[in-house]
Amino acid sequence: MYAVIESGGKQYKVEEGSRISVEKIDVPVGDEVQLDKVLLASKEGEALLDKSALEKVKVLGVVTKQDKAKKIIVFKKKRRKDYKKTRGHRQYYTQIEIKQIVIK
């Protein structure tokens, strides 16, 4: 059984026991989180796509980590104009372990 969820404008395929890293959610480590925005759910080989059926599907997980991602370098340059700019960025993320996919 798996589900496709949306969090932070991105889509993730999740199964029970899998870990995903999503954009930061303000939930303390160890607390449960409920992901309601389910786009697709599959049970015993058949996919649920109907909106009314998907409203009854919930994905439950536990927050395992709040951290920052690896640093990326943003470098801008304009040729022959003596213009260079270097910046770095580290995105905050939340790691969630999927405990259960509930289909009513």
| Beta bridge partners of residue 73, listed in sequence order | 88
- Residue 21 makes CB contacts below 8 A (sequence gap 6+) with 69, 93, 94, 95, 96
Confidence of residue 28 (pLDDT cuts 50, 70, 90): very high
State yes or no: pLDDT of 95 exceeds 90: yes
* pLDDT attached to residue 11: 97
Confidence of residue 43 (pLDDT cuts 50, 70, 90): confident
Model pTM?
0.84
Which of 15-24, 49-58, 89-98 comes out lowest in average pLDDT? 49-58
